């Protein structure tokens, strides 16, 4: 699904002045991974197998004048066995430095609206914030609820695997779709 947003401020060339000038596109997993690798401040690495194996998955980009400015990666929750509700997890949200203020909030809203259409049986969106790196500002601005907090717990790491990208404590944020 493509959500076309008509500019309010009429940017011609250059960077957008408002997040309302973006077009939200469904993109493929490979492009989503490349954009995340380019822009994510804490978790640039993703694993394609861990993204595409999910029953529910969606990959989005914000575009303006042929250039991407933000990416969102959604899948079934990593820890779905610990949840008592049906959810989809925002695994990554990464935004380039040239994006205007409030890009994250606008993108969260439009992605959520599209997810409701794609997966009408899913009731909530969840996401995890690394406390050592972020303050949860984008979630607060989009009316998410801080539902749980947990200290870093290592998953098993097999010989030869990379160490975790962060050992930060996490806050789980939730929002009804």
Structural domain count of the chain? 1
The answer for residues whose C-beta is within 8 angstroms of residue 73's C-beta and 6 or more apart is: 32, 33, 36, 46, 51, 59, 60, 90, 91, 92, 93
Residue 157 lies in a domain: yes
Classified as helix, coil or strand, 154 is coil
Q: Quote the domain boundaries for residue 55.
A: 19-176
Residue 160 lies in a domain: yes
Residue 27 lies in a domain: yes
Residue 77 lies in a domain: yes
Give all strands (DSSP E) within 67-166, no chain letters: 67-75, 87-95, 124-130, 145-150
CATH number at residue 121: 3.40.630.30
Q: How many CB atoms lie within 10 A of CB 102?
A: 14
Residue 168 lies in a domain: yes
Residue 64 is predicted with a pLDDT of: 96
Per-residue pLDDT of the chain (177 residues; tens, 9 = 90+): 554 444 444 445 688 999 999 999 999 999 999 999 999 877 778 899 999 999 999 999 999 999 999 999 999 998 877 777 899 999 999 999 999 999 999 999 999 999 999 999 999 999 999 887 778 999 999 999 999 988 866 655 566 665 555 677 889 999 999
Residue 155 lies in a domain: yes
Taking the C-alpha atoms of residue 22 and residue 133, their distance in angstroms, rounded to an integer, is 27
Residue 133 is predicted with a pLDDT of: 77
Residue 118 lies in a domain: yes
């Amino acid at each position: 699904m493509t959500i076309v947003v008509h500019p309010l401020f009429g940017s011609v060339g250059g960077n957008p002045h408002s997040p309302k000038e973006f077009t939200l596109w469904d993109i493929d997993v490979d492009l989503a991974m490349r954009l995340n690798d380019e822009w994510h401040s804490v978790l640039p690495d993703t694993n394609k197998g861990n993204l595409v194996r999910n029953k529910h998955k969606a990959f989005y980009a914000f575009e303006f004048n042929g250039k991407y400015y933000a990416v969102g990666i959604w899948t079934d929750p990593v820890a779905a066995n610990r949840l008592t509700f049906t959810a989809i997890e925002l695994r990554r949200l990464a935004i380039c430095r040239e994006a205007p203020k409030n890009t994250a909030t606008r993108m969260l809203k439009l992605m959520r609206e599209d997810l409701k259409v794609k997966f009408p049986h899913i009731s909530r969106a969840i996401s995890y914030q690394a406390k050592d790196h972020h303050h949860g500002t984008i979630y607060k601005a989009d009316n998410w609820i801080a539902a749980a907090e947990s200290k870093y717990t290592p998953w098993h790491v097999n010989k030869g695997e990379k160490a975790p990208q962060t050992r930060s404590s996490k806050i789980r944020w939730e929002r009804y779709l």
